[in-house]
Amino acid sequence: MHKFNNDTFFWIALFAILAALINGLGIFTLYKNQAWALKTKPYFICFAAGVLISTPLMMALPQAILKNFYAGFMALLGFLFMFFSNALIKKRTQTEVLAFGIVAAEGIGIHSFIDGVIYTVTFSISITVGLLAATGLVIHEFAEGIITYTLFLKGGVKKKRAMFYAFLVAGLTTPLGAFVAYPLINRLSESSLGLMLGFVAGVLIYISAAHLLPEARGEEKKHSGYAFLSGVGLAIFIVSSKLF
């Protein structure tokens, strides 16, 4: 088992907090430019769809299956969890638009929490591996903050409250995940980590395929396809930054 030291904790804390700050910057930028945000909302949704469909398919799920053969079943469980969560929220709220925002934010919150766990896991292997992984994750935090704030606006939440909720869901969950995982990571086996990654992959695939892509298609604008491909490109960059 890997033994943590002060340097390891420093790097974990630094990048986890930096991720939250960059996420908040994205949210604040959108908050100050509301008219621009509403006008360009479909592009952000397409961008989010590109990121969220690519990342689990290219990296999270394959890595999960390598660690645990049954991770694919956990991915299915994650997908079904989101499916039934969406159905339950729709039934309770009787508002499909609100359900869209809540369920999407639910998935992003899980994703961001796992981002924090990934910081702890990778830095526990080595500082170099941690730096490579964390750099890719931090780069996408700005876009993730914008996307999460947009999703809450789509759900009918008012501007200031949406900004607070978005930072709570997408920003603070990353350092929370890192600090929760820090004392526990030595107790996790590779097999258990594979199951965790599989579940998250299923969650992200559901959000993109069942929510973001249909929503983007419903408000499709000129060049929105390029926004989707830009999201795919960012995901490829993130994955490449971890692999090489």
**What are residue 66's phi and psi, to 5 degrees?**
-65, -35
Q: Do the domain assignments include residue 91?
A: yes
What pLDDT does residue 240 have? 76
What pLDDT does residue 77 have? 94
CA–CA gap between residue 214 and residue 220 (Å, rounded)? 10
Q: How far is CA 230 from CA 100, 225, 242, in A?
A: 23, 9, 19
What pLDDT does residue 1 have? 46
Q: Do the domain assignments include residue 223?
A: yes
119: how many CB neighbours lie within 10 A of its CB?
29
Mean pLDDT for the stretch of residues 229-239: 80
pLDDT tens per residue, range 152-184: 877 777 888 888 888 988 889 989 999 988 888
Q: Indicate the Cα dihedral angle 84, 89, 94, 97, nearest 10°.
A: -100
What pLDDT does residue 96 have? 57
Range of 69's domain? Answer: 6-243
- Would you give the end-to-end CA distance of the chain in angstroms? 25
Cβ pair 124, 225 in contact under 8 A = no
Token reading at 153: 């606006």
pLDDT tens per residue, range 183-226: 887 676 778 877 877 887 787 788 778 877 776 666 556 667 78
CA–CA gap between residue 208 and residue 202 (Å, rounded)? 10
pLDDT tens per residue, range 128-141: 656 656 665 676 67
CA–CA gap between residue 56 and residue 101 (Å, rounded)? 21
Q: Do the domain assignments include residue 166?
A: yes
Higher pLDDT, 125 or 150: 150
Three-state helix/strand/coil letters over the chain = CCCCCHHHHHHHHHHHHHHHHHHHHHHHHHHCCHHHHHHHHHHHHHHHHHHHHHHHHHHHHHHHHHHCCCHHHHHHHHHHHHHHHHHHHHHHHCCHHHHHHHHHHHHHHHHHHHHHHHHHHHHHHCHHHHHHHHHHHHHHHHHHHHHHHHHHHHCCCCHHHHHHHHHHHHHCHHHHHHHHHCCCHHHCCHHHHHHHHHHHHHHHHHHHHHHHHHHHHHCCCCCHHHHHHHHHHHHHHHHHHHHC
Q: Do the domain assignments include residue 217?
A: yes
Q: Do the domain assignments include residue 64?
A: yes
pLDDT tens per residue, range 69-126: 999 999 999 899 888 877 776 665 555 555 556 666 777 787 788 778 778 876 765 5
Confidence band of 2 (pLDDT split at 50, 70, 90): very low
Q: Do the domain assignments include residue 17?
A: yes
CA–CA gap between residue 202 and residue 166 (Å, rounded)? 22
Q: Do the domain assignments include residue 195?
A: yes
Indicate the number of domains in the chain: 1
Q: Do the domain assignments include residue 1?
A: no
Token reading at 232: 């795919």
